[in-house]
């Protein structure tokens, strides 16, 4: 139910009350231009019989036919802005999440965090739990890695983003992290998505490398249906017949997804490229396509990285890339925010 501009609170509440009386779930979206009331339920015939078009303040009643409802622009026409501390995804800013693929150890990660901030990162990344293709590869430090991430947040003043792998780990990771990331391999792990719907922290949902855009948005629907609307979508490349790159970055997914959903869309050029030399070019393309942020792997000594060494940028490469994407964003009337200019807090002994 799309309410007329200027509809009163009483008119809106009258529609909400009638829907709830009839047993429908209700999701209310208030925007600057319009208020949309979503009725959640399977009995469309009974809903149509309510005659809500005649209620005062109702402009129109329309069906959302897509499998994702709350994620769609039909339900929420205006862009959602996801705020993490002083950083916001959506609304004209293009923040950059950066750091090493994995939290390798306390000293190494704190060094990487300081280097990422100095080069322009506004959110830190790092895996405490690492899903790897081989069971013999480094699997992460677990809770000790989460503690190191929290220490890096205190050191730099930047929020931290890390991956959560299963429903049981959600409370633990949420205790330490500011953004909980769902990796590509877990993009359709529905028990995990449902668990993330029950928390009230931002979720970065990566597109699985075999997922269509509709499947990606439907995965986000699981989180919103649980009550958590703080979802950031992340395009990170899909699997195609091309073997020159690690994955094929679907740059068209940025404008397509932004046309279908109100959620912010960020891009991870590192996992798509697989080689550091190509990451800056893909980052530039992503910003030109209108993405709402970037996630990039940065390591003080990339060749020594335990995980994904080939695609990690050095701080110098990252700084040069940041200058380039900032210039592109400004042409489009957008801004790449930089960390505050306050001195970095003294590191712990």
164-176: pLDDT as tens digits:
999 999 999 999 9
The better pLDDT of the pair 151, 32 is held by 151
How far CA 336 is from CA of 65, 168, 281, 282, in Å, comes to 36, 35, 16, 16
Same fold, 2-60 and 82-331: no
What letter does residue 346 receive in the DSSP assignment? P
Range 82-331 classified under CATH 3.20.20.70: yes
Superfamily of domain 2-60: Phospho-2-dehydro-3-deoxyheptonate aldolase; domain 1 (3.30.70.1140)
Report pLDDT for 349: 35
Q: What is the pLDDT of residues 202-242, one digit of tens each?
A: 999 999 999 999 999 999 999 998 989 999 999 999 999 99
Question: Domain ranges in the chain?
Answer: 2-60, 82-331
Strand partners, 83: 88
Q: What is the pLDDT of residues 31-61, one digit of tens each?
A: 767 788 988 877 778 888 899 999 999 998 9
**Distance, CA of 199 to CA of 221 (rounded, Å):** 14
How far CA 28 is from CA of 7, 70, 178, 217, 338, in Å, comes to 14, 10, 26, 20, 34
Element (H, E) at 233: strand 231-235
Q: What is the pLDDT of residues 84-125, one digit of tens each?
A: 999 999 989 999 999 999 998 999 999 999 999 999 999 999
Q: Please return the burial class of 111, using the count of CB atoms within 10 Å of its CB with bins 0-12, 13-18 and 19+.
A: middle
Element (H, E) at 37: strand 35-40
């Amino acid at each position: 139910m799309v309410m007329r501009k200027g509809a009163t609170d009483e008119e809106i509440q009258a529609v909400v009350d009638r829907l709830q009386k009839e047993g429908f779930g209700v999701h209310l979206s208030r925007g600057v231009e319009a208020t949309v009331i979503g009725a959640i339920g399977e009995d469309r015939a009974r809903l149509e019989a309510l005659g809500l078009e005649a209620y005062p303040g109702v402009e129109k009643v329309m069906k959302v036919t897509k499998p994702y409802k709350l994620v769609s622009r039909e339900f929420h026409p205006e862009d959602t802005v996801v705020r993490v501390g002083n950083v916001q995804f959506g609304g004209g800013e293009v923040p950059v999440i950066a750091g090493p693929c994995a939290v390798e150890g306390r000293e190494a990660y704190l060094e990487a965090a300081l280097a990422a901030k100095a080069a322009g990162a506004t959110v830190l990344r790092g895996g405490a739990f690492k899903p790897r293709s081989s069971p013999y590869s480094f699997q992460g430090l677990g809770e000790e890695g989460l503690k190191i991430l929290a220490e890096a947040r205190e050191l730099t003043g930047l929020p931290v983003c890390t991956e959560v792998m299963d429903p049981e780990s959600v409370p633990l990771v949420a205790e330490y992290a500011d953004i909980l990331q769902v990796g590509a391999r877990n993009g359709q792990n529905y028990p995990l998505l449902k668990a993330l719907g029950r928390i009230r922290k931002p979720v970065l949902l990566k597109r699985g490398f075999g997922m269509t855009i509709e499947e990606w948005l439907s995965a986000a629907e699981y989180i919103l249906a649980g009550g958590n609307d703080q979802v950031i979508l992340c395009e990170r490349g899909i699997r195609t017949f091309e073997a020159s790159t690690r994955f094929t970055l679907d740059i068209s997914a940025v404008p397509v997804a932004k046309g279908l959903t109100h959620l912010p869309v960020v891009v991870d050029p590192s996992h798509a490229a697989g080689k550091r030399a190509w990451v800056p070019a893909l980052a530039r393309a992503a910003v030109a396509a209108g993405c709402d942020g970037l996630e990039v792997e940065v390591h003080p000594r990339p060749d020594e990285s335990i995980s994904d060494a080939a695609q990690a940028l050095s701080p110098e490469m990252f700084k040069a890339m940041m200058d380039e994407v900032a210039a592109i964003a400004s042409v489009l009337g957008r801004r790449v925010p930089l960390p505050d200019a306050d001195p970095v807090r003294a590191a712990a002994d």
